Amino acid sequence: MDTWKRFGEKEVSHSMAHYLQAVAALKVEKGHARVGDIADHLGVSKSGVTSMLRSLERHGLVTHERYGCVELTSTGAGLATRTESSRRVLTVFLTEILGVPETVATEDACMIEHLVSTEVSVELLRLTAFLRSQHPAAKQFRDAYRASPHACAAHAPGALGALGAPGAADACGVCADTCLHESLLGDVAQIAVRR
């Protein structure tokens, strides 16, 4: 009932993760990271950068002396690398295994890269590497999966069953009483904000 509250207690926020990645990228790209560089890189104002750097410094993720360059601490650098790797694993999985369009994969990976646990990233890497490998079972999977129906798996042959409410019509092994495929597609068309 309060897992959801830990969202705000993650070690880095979405913004922070991207600031760290920006600093890391700029160090590689031009050898140093200055306030203006970061602002340009991220498309935010310089004053926004200044205040975020103060916050990152409080968290021990960067060092920054007034009017000087920004440096990642080892913790900050570790976080930047980890987020970067997470994004990469996600992107490959989404495009190569799930086969979603690159634009969608990029967007989704960017949104969740900093929220996915290390355990999940590591296992996702393992699965992705396996399914892309020359292992016979992986090859067979690719052939069979390509040929399997793209529609709701509820209608696929040979489902496992028994995941949702007991006794419920469990056709695809994942859906239970309701077809998840359909509920995922639920029309959430235009959500306007009235101010």
Partner DNA sequence: TGCCGTAGTTAAGCTACCTTAACTCTCTTA
Partner DNA sequence: TAAGAGAGTTAAGGTAGCTTAACTACGGCA
What whole-number distance in Å separates Cα of residue 135 and Cα of residue 128? 12
Q: Of the candidates 32, 109, 129, which has an alpha carbon nearest to the alpha carbon of residue 72?
A: 32
Q: Kindly state whether residue 139 participates in binding DNA, applying the rule CB under 7 A.
A: no
User: Binding partner of residue 48 among its own copies, DNA, none, CB under 5 to 8 Å per kind?
Assistant: DNA
Residue 38 in contact with residue 19, Cβ under 8 Å?
yes
Q: Kindly state whether residue 63 participates in binding DNA, applying the rule CB under 7 A.
A: no
C-beta of 1: minimal distance to DNA in Å?
Answer: 13
**Which one, 54 or 155, has the nearer CB to DNA?**
54
How many residues of this chain interact with DNA, rule: CB under 7 A? 27
Q: Which of 1, 6, 31, 67 binds DNA (CB under 7 A)?
A: 67
Cα–Cα distances (Å) from 152 to 102, 112, 185, 186, in that order, read 22, 25, 11, 14
Q: Which of 24, 27, 34, 61 binds DNA (CB under 7 A)?
A: 34
Q: Of the candidates 65, 47, 58, 46, which has an alpha carbon nearest to the alpha carbon of residue 16?
A: 58
**Which one, 166 or 188, has the nearer CB to its own copies?**
188
User: Binding partner of residue 49 among its own copies, DNA, none, CB under 5 to 8 Å per kind?
Assistant: DNA
C-beta of 64: minimal distance to its own copies in Å?
Answer: 14
Cα–Cα distances (Å) from 163 to 167, 170, 176, in that order, read 10, 7, 7
